[in-house]
Amino acid sequence: MSGAWAMEFLRLGVLALLGLTAGLVSGELAWSMAVAAAIALVFHLLQLYRLHHWIVNDEDRNNPPDAGGVWGELIDVLYRFGKRHRKRKERLARLLERFNEFTGAMPDANVVIGPQDDIRWMNEAAVSLLGLDQPADLGQRITNLIRYPGFVQFLRRGNYSETLEFPAPQREDVRLSVRVVPFGNNERLIAARDVSHFFRIERMRRDFVANVSHELRTPLTVLAGYLEAYIDMVEEMPAALRPSVGHMQGQTARMQQIVDDLLTLSRLDSENVIASDQEEVSVPGVVSTLREDAEALSGGRHEVVAEVDSGLLLRGEAKELHSAFSNLVSNAVRYTPDGGRIVLRWSAGPAGEARFEVSDSGIGIAPADIPRVTERFYRVDKDRSRATGGTGLGLAIVKHVLQRHGARLEVRSRLGKGSTFACVFPAGRVLRKVRRVGVG
């Protein structure tokens, strides 16, 4: 038993003994004991009042009342607990103040949103870069304040492995790079950085490539014309020169293809990010044409199969979609050994999406190479790509076309087991007609 409780029991014992003695002397034992109990009750009520008054009055927080026994020990414990709590609170306040200073000094905009896209916190940079108002916009849905279609789709898709670039809401001359990081209880941190300088450098690079490509097109056309004339005269040439003429013609054609692909990429870069969705594209017809093209390119070396949902259409740019799909099909033919199988598949996906897939039984892609296959001039197998006429730009074109259609590219591959490239289109671009499934 602690000393405080011993003192408390001693106090009660002395009071009870006094009441008993007084009762025996006066002959009123019951009244004497009742008075002793009342005195004990008043004492404890008085101590309770002093404790309550000390707790609820902040100005007396550092001056605890004097008391003995259990009450004194209780007050002492509460005082020490409150002192630790105040120190912890002051430390947290200092940390919060430092955090606010740190986030306020950051040049990047940071916004915390909840599961319903409601804004829960933002720093000062979010006001200037994202056009938000603090504190008026706290609790508002960020998709109601930043209405850029690509940003809204990016949030809804839920795949935050990549960054998104778009113009600042109130400043067209500022380009933002946005990354979303999930954390906590379905909360997300939106980090936006001003990348206008890099965007201007990238635009200069694109302009340079486009200008050089335009300048190369004319001399290449002249060279190709002369080489066609020389081919017609090949019988009159010395035997030693005949192979050289054919080789030059092949390399010139390849250079022309590279220039055409560079101009295509330049056009896709310079136009609006989101393609028009007013044109109805008959993807089943496109797939049928691509199958014929694949068979012609293969020359009977592969089995080419098309699995088509004939009632599934898209809204978009027909020429761009044909170009993207054609690049995937031609790559499958180039990288699939003789006797392999190539499957073109157009089907509905989950949540109303649509998928165009090209699967092959080719050489496959190493896991380390998959994230880089859409880079310009990146080749998984450089020797094979050049030998089959590849420019290294096909998948870059595919990536840009899909971005303009709000779609994404999924790649699955295993070395020696083949690859599958899937173009996944959002439900907003999908049209449904009478469904008839044909397998060819």
Mind listing the pLDDT tens digit for each residue in 343-362? 999 998 888 899 999 999 88
Average pLDDT over residues 132-142: 90
What is the b/e burial string over 243-252, where b = at least 16 CB atoms within 10 angstroms of the residue's CB? eeeeebbeeb
Length of the chain: 440
Least confident residue range of 65-74, 124-133, 308-317, 402-411: 65-74
The residue ranking higher by pLDDT, 224 or 304, is 304
Indicate the DSSP class of residue 236: G
Q: Choose between 52 and 355: higher pLDDT.
A: 355
pLDDT for 18 equals 83
Pick from 370, 422, 394: nearest CA to 161: 370
> d(Cα 326, Cα 390) in Å, to the nearest integer?
13
Q: State residue 356's pLDDT score.
A: 93
Q: State the pLDDT at residue 245.
A: 78
| Predicted confidence (pLDDT) at residue 191 exceeds the cutoff of 70 | yes
Picking from 221, 222, 249, 218, the residue whose alpha carbon sits closest to that of residue 233 is 249
Q: Look at residue 188 in the predicted model and tell me its pLDDT.
A: 92
**From residue 371, how far is each of 88, 174, 375 by CA, in Å?**
47, 28, 9
Q: What is the pLDDT of residue 12?
A: 81
Give the pLDDT confidence score for residue 237 in this predicted structure.
77
**pLDDT attached to residue 2:** 65
Task: Decide if pLDDT at 118 tops 90.
Answer: yes
Residue identified by tokens 């591959």 is: 413
Structural domains of the chain, with CATH: 3-101 (no CATH), 106-194 (3.30.450.20), 198-270 (1.10.287), 280-439 (3.30.565.10)
The pLDDT-based confidence of 54 (bands split at 50, 70, 90) is: confident
The pLDDT of residue 59: 65
Confidence at residue 372, expressed as pLDDT on a 0 to 100 scale: 83
Find the helix or strand (DSSP H, E) in which 273 lies: none
Between 117 and 102, residue with greater pLDDT: 117
Whether 364 shows a pLDDT value over 90: the answer reads: no
**Which strand (E) or helix (H) includes residue 420?**
strand 418-425
Judge whether residue 259 has pLDDT over 90.
no
Q: What is the mean pLDDT of the chain?
A: 81
Out of 123-127, 167-171, 321-325, 411-415, pick the least confident: 167-171
Q: Which residue has the higher pLDDT, 71 or 360?
A: 360
Per DSSP bridges, beta strands 280-281 and 303-309 are unpaired
Q: What value does the mean pLDDT take over residues 209-233?
A: 78
Contact 64, 75 (CB under 8 A): yes
Identify the pLDDT of residue 436: 46
Whole-angstrom distance, CA of residue 323 vs CA of residue 121: 44
Q: Is the pLDDT of residue 119 over 90?
A: yes
Measured CA distances, 103 to 95, 96, 106, 112, 134 (Å): 12, 10, 5, 12, 14
**pLDDT exceeds 80 at position 99:** no
Residues 128-140, mean pLDDT to the nearest whole number: 88
Of the pLDDT bands very low, low, confident and very high (cuts 50, 70, 90), residue 57 is: confident
Query: Mind listing the pLDDT tens digit for each residue in 378-415?
Result: 666 655 555 555 566 778 888 888 888 888 899 998 88
Q: In this predicted structure, what is the pLDDT of residue 383?
A: 53
More confident residue, 273 or 158: 158
The pLDDT score that the predictor gives to residue 154 is: 85
pTM listed for this prediction: 0.53
Asked if the model's pLDDT at residue 421 lies above 90, the reply is yes
The string of pLDDT tens digits covering residues 224-250 is 887 887 777 777 778 777 788 777 877
